[in-house]
């Protein structure tokens, strides 16, 4: 076996071990219960704020399906926080330095970013299942049938993709800021309190922001948003910039 293949295999083994450790650490405490609960509570809160499903009787079945998936996309800010939590939790408890010394900065960052991807997917699926499962019982039978149709579930990949990218974005913010409370405000409050209203009032501007790009990936029914593919490219641009800043910031800090 060549040296390159051995080195590649060893690197993959280290990354797999790191991923396993990150996921075990993430799911080992009670905090993860709160994060998963928020994945259902945030769309519930946004839905109630907008009066849905109370006004579902005034909408067609297709409009209700569209409303459901648009509200499901509000899970993305929770995924952003979940991704940042991989870093800010260790920073809060003072164990980040030990992890970096023991495993190396490159190994730790790679494992956390990969874990953020997995957690973003899990957060989206949990939110859709838990929140969607509870709200489905309050919908009229014809709307429930339309929501469970194969055509409706074609919108799930966009919502899941948005949450996965949001989690990676959150991981970068965690590395850049490293302060638990400041990162929480940035990942949860600003998207819901600033960027969401901007989507409703000025989508031409909001579509270029991180949340606006994720909204385009999830195909939210707002005029002026980018189509999923251009929105994905814009989101990747934000991720690239955030990743570069995260690496530059981390290398310039003392742990």
Predicted local distance difference test score (pLDDT) of residue 255? 53
Q: Are 170 and 187 in contact (CB under 8 A)?
A: yes
What does pLDDT average to in each consecutive run of 10 residues of the chain (255 residues)? 64 80 85 87 89 88 92 93 94 88 89 95 94 89 91 94 97 94 88 82 89 92 90 97 93 68
Predicted local distance difference test score (pLDDT) of residue 195? 82
Residues 141, 144, 146, 149: is their CA dihedral positive or negative? Answer: negative
Predicted local distance difference test score (pLDDT) of residue 2? 63
The total of other beta-carbon atoms located within 10 Å of residue 55's CB is: 11
Predicted local distance difference test score (pLDDT) of residue 164? 97
Predicted local distance difference test score (pLDDT) of residue 29? 73
- What ranges in the chain are assigned the alpha helix state H? 3-27, 31-49, 61-72, 76-93, 96-103, 105-136, 141-147, 156-177, 180-184, 190, 196-201, 203-206, 210-217, 228-251
Q: Would you state the structure tokens that stand for residue 15, as one six-digit string? A: 């990354």
Distance CA 235, CA 163 (A): 12
Distance CA 88, CA 178 (A): 5
Predicted local distance difference test score (pLDDT) of residue 6? 58
Distance CA 252, CA 22 (A): 24
Distance CA 42, CA 49 (A): 11
Q: Are 159 and 218 in contact (CB under 8 A)?
A: yes
In this structure, the chain runs to a length of 255
Three-state secondary structure call for residue 222: coil
Predicted local distance difference test score (pLDDT) of residue 182? 92
Predicted local distance difference test score (pLDDT) of residue 4? 62
pLDDT digits (tens, 9 = 90+) for 79-120: 999 999 999 999 988 888 888 888 888 899 999 999 999 999
């Amino acid at each position: 076996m060549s040296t390159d293949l051995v080195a590649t295999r060893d690197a993959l083994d280290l990354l797999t071990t790191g991923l396993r450790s990150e996921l075990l650490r993430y799911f080992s405490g009670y905090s993860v219960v709160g994060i998963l609960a928020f994945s259902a509570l945030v769309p519930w809160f946004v839905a109630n704020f907008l009066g849905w499903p109370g006004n579902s009787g005034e909408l067609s079945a297709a409009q209700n399906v569209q409303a459901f998936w648009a509200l499901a996309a509000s899970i993305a800010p929770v995924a952003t926080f979940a991704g940042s939590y991989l870093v800010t939790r260790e920073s809060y408890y003072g164990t980040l330095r030990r992890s970096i010394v023991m495993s190396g900065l490159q190994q730790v960052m790679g494992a956390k970013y990969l874990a953020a991807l997995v957690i973003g997917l899990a957060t989206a699926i949990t939110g859709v299942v838990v929140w969607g499962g509870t709200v489905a019982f309050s919908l009229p039978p014809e709307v429930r049938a339309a929501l469970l149709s194969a055509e409706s579930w074609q919108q799930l990949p966009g919502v899941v993709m948005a949450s996965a990218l949001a989690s990676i974005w959150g991981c970068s913010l965690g590395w850049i800021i490293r302060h638990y409370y400041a990162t929480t405000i940035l990942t949860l409050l600003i998207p819901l309190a600033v960027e969401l209203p901007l989507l409703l009032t000025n989508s031409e501007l909001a579509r270029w922001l991180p949340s606006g790009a994720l909204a385009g990936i999830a195909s939210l029914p707002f005029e002026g948003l980018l189509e999923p593919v251009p929105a994905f490219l814009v989101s990747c641009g934000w991720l690239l910039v955030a990743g570069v800043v995260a690496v530059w910031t981390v290398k310039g800090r003392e742990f």
